[in-house]
């Protein structure tokens, strides 16, 4: 674990550290005062590369961090915190963003569980609309930007009711040169919200549908009070995923259907874009009784395609048996 900066530490002769907001394996986030703009409070994200990394690789990663940070600094969307600065200090990389007040959605889930209730679907759909808007905006950039760590604890509800997707820590630019997209700010995400293609550090198959999976898992958690089974466990045991309406019958069948589509293990079975997913959330969709059948039919079609040769041989053998049987 990286040693935290002490309170009152000055960064870049401008940002006075007040204290940590959170900490992870690759760094920390601090609340800080911008001394050049009295009264402005900001969030400073610190990213610490592996101390054993080769100097040449470290230089490459730092350069790419600066390139990606410059892209983030150009973003402007009401549901994203504004990145206002980035710099290197004592071998660590820093992003300076708006400080977002309020509670994260994981805290709101925990509060609902303590009160033995579910968060209202209408409220969750309002949050989903704001998140879809922010993520569609990221995905429409040139090159597209993936967030890669969407989860309730990375989403804040401000006192005004505005949702903010606060953590850019795992951002990835989709470029034609995939070998150059692995950076010091990248990681694997959080298991319950991570699609199968994002496991193991192999990013050659991740695209905007990876964020759709993570948002689907987040909405599942918000509506049911529990996170879904991990993609890895579902790959080994497809029946492990409990359907949302089994836990919370108040969920609309169409909303359940949209979430299940977003949680498809194969990217091709998910909605193609955030806008398509948002539209699906507001449509009637498939009735709850039909949704499991639809998913089951997809699995059966996959199994039939994979075993077509064996099925053909079995059919021939059955035909021969009928011919030679007196």
Q: What are the residue numbers of the active site?
A: 149
Which residues fall within 8 angstroms of residue 126, CB to CB, at 6 or more apart? none
Taking the CB of residue 22, how many other CB atoms lie within 10 A of it?
15
d(CA 299, CA 268): 13
d(CA 50, CA 57): 11
Q: List Cα–Cα distances, 215 to 109, 219, 272, in angstroms.
A: 15, 6, 13
- For 37-64, b where at least 16 C-beta lie within 10 A, e where not — what string? eeeeebbbbbbbbeeeeeeeeeebbbeb
Contact 96, 11 (CB under 8 A): no
Beta-strand ranges (E) seen in the chain are 10-11, 15-24, 27-34, 41-47, 83-89, 92-98, 103-104, 145-146, 155-157, 163-165, 172-173
- End-to-end CA distance of the chain: give it in Å, rounded: 77
Cis peptide before 143 (omega within 30 of 0): yes
d(CA 282, CA 280): 5
Burial class (CB in 10 A: 0-12, 13-18, 19+), 253: middle
Token output for 197: 């293609």
């Amino acid at each position: 674990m990286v040693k935290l900066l002490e309170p009152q530490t000055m960064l870049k002769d401008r940002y006075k550290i007040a204290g940590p907001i959170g900490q992870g394996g690759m760094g920390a986030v601090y609340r800080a005062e911008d001394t050049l703009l009295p009264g402005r409070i900001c969030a400073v994200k610190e990213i610490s590369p592996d101390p054993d990394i080769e100097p040449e690789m470290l230089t490459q990663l730092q350069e790419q961090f600066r390139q990606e940070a410059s892209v983030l600094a150009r973003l402007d969307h009401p549901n994203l915190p504004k990145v206002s600065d980035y710099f290197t200090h004592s071998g660590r990389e820093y992003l300076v963003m708006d400080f977002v007040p309020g509670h994260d959605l994981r805290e709101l889930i925990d509060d609902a569980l303590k009160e033995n209730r579910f968060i209202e679907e209408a409220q969750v759909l309002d949050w989903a609309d704001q998140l879809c808007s922010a993520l569609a905006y990221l995905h429409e950039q040139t090159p597209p930007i993936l967030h890669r760590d969407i989860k309730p604890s990375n989403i804040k509800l401000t006192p005004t009711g505005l949702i903010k997707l606060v953590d850019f820590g795992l951002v990835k630019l989709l470029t034609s040169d995939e070998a150059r997209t692995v950076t010091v700010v990248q990681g694997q995400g959080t298991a319950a919200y991570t699609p199968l293609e994002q496991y193991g550090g192999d990013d050659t198959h991740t695209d905007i549908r990876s964020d759709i999976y993570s948002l689907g898992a987040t909405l599942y958690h918000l509506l049911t009070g529990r996170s879904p089974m991990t993609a890895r466990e579902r790959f080994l045991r497809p029946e492990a995923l409990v359907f949302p309406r089994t836990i919370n019958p108040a969920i609309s069948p169409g909303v359940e259907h949209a979430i299940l589509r977003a949680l498809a293990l194969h990217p091709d079975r998910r909605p193609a874009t955030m806008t398509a997913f948002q539209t699906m959330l507001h449509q009637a969709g498939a009735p709850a009784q039909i949704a499991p059948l639809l998913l089951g039919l997809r699995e059966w079609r996959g199994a039939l395609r994979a075993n077509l040769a064996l099925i053909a041989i079995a059919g021939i053998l059955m035909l021969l048996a009928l011919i030679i049987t007196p």
